[in-house]
């Protein structure tokens, strides 16, 4: 799959119990996108997608995967 942020090759690492996507990208890192934010996220331009990931990273606690949700958009 392609990374929804940068378009680079990425891995879909979503477990069956996560409501959304877990992405592993060599450029953007490991992050999640909740299902309720996914459609709106995909409509954003490149800069807004990067901004959403940066906001998720700032809000993530040490040792946890940043997750983009509606509050990051």
pLDDT given for residue 43 in this prediction: 96
* Per-residue pLDDT, 38: 94
Domain ranges in the chain are 1-58
User: Can you say whether the dihedral through the CA atoms of 63, 52, 18, 36 is positive or negative?
Assistant: positive
What is the CB neighbour count within 10 angstroms for residue 19? 10
pLDDT tens string, the chain, 73 residues long: the values are 999 999 999 999 999 899 999 999 999 999 999 999 999 999 999 999 999 999 999 999 999 999 999 999 9
Q: What is the pLDDT of residue 51?
A: 97
Q: What is the pTM of this model?
A: 0.91
Q: What is the pLDDT of residue 41?
A: 96
């Amino acid at each position: 799959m392609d990374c929804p942020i940068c378009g680079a090759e990425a891995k879909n690492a979503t477990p069956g119990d996560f409501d959304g996507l877990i992405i592993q990208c060599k450029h953007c890192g490991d992050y999640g996108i909740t299902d309720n934010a996914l459609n709106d996220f995909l409509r954003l331009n490149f800069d807004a997608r990067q901004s959403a990931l940066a906001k998720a990273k700032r809000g993530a606690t040490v040792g946890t995967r940043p997750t983009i949700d509606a509050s990051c958009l």
